[in-house]
Amino acid sequence: MLLLRINKNLFANVTKLFYICTEFKKLCMNIKYDNNQILELHSQGLTDREIADIVGCTPNQMAKKRKRMGLTANNPITDYELTDKELAIIIGTLLGDSCIRYVHDKCNFPMLNFCHCVAQKEYFLYKKDQLINLMTSYNVYTKKSFWHKDETYELYQFNGKNMKCLLPIREAFYQNNVKIIPIDFIKKYFTEESVYYWFMDDGCYDKTSKSYTIATDCFTNNDLQKFIEFLAEKFDLHFSIKKDGELYLKHKSNYKFKEILLKYNKCDTMQYKIG
């Protein structure tokens, strides 16, 4: 009887100790890894292994943490094929505000990412819906104004999935992590719909001079020269390169250019850009 009682007490103490150790591990996990950071990385489509590499734990620990947070596992997308429409949109917006990037240097595949301010919310949501198969989530952030420190503004951000199908586009559009205009790639896949998204991202219409300009100063003059030759040949759209690196649409092309924009525009709030 005495031996049985000792065994029961020992079992109870071991069980209690195991419970204490388990709870302590959970507490350490919560202290060590910031939940907001994990949510942010998960929303960008990172897998358990990729998040674990960043925060400094094992994939198994991260999987358990993710489950406790009520999140489903992200898996790299290796078998998705882009539609012609998706490809046209991606190419147009890559010449504008979007980027294809690796969230972390241990990621196998890149993701698509873009942001728009609250004034372009309707356009952001429309573009997001066209690329919904590439998205893990979208977020709304409050940012401090660069020009007025006491003011804030809302920013809408699209977080894409890590996808193998984006690899050739990433390789075409970036050299040493610098975005370029891959003219041979552009010639194959750039469409009228690409023109629309390119302009809506980075274009501007001046009512006074009735002029269309597009911010392209991040590209080299050589790239721009090849690009405007292509636009003239394929779409009969004639641009010149301004001294500041922007493209200026010659007035003889205004009517045709506006026709293209109206053909694809579904956002009333973006009408101000069309003129």
Question: Degrees (nearest 5) of the Cα angle 127, 231, 199?
Answer: 30
Residue ranges of domains in the chain, CATH in brackets: 2-68 (no CATH), 84-274 (3.10.28.10)
The model's pLDDT over 96-119, given as tens digits with 9 standing for 90+, comes to 999 999 988 878 899 999 999 999
To 10 degrees, the CA torsion angle through 239, 241, 245, 249?
A: -30
Residue 258 has pLDDT above 90, yes or no: yes
| Residue pointed to by tokens 């721009």 | 224
Residue 13 has pLDDT above 60, yes or no: no
Residue 66 has pLDDT above 80, yes or no: yes
Q: Which residues contact 115 (CB under 8 A, 6 or more apart)?
A: 97, 155, 156, 157, 158
The model's pLDDT over 191-223, given as tens digits with 9 standing for 90+, comes to 999 999 999 999 999 999 999 999 999 999 999
Q: What is the rounded distance in angstroms from the CA atom of residue 160 to the CA atom of residue 118?
A: 20
Which of 58-72, 117-131, 242-256, 261-275 bottoms out in mean pLDDT, i.e. has the lowest? 58-72
Residue 142 identity: T
The model's pLDDT over 170-193, given as tens digits with 9 standing for 90+, comes to 999 999 999 999 999 999 999 999
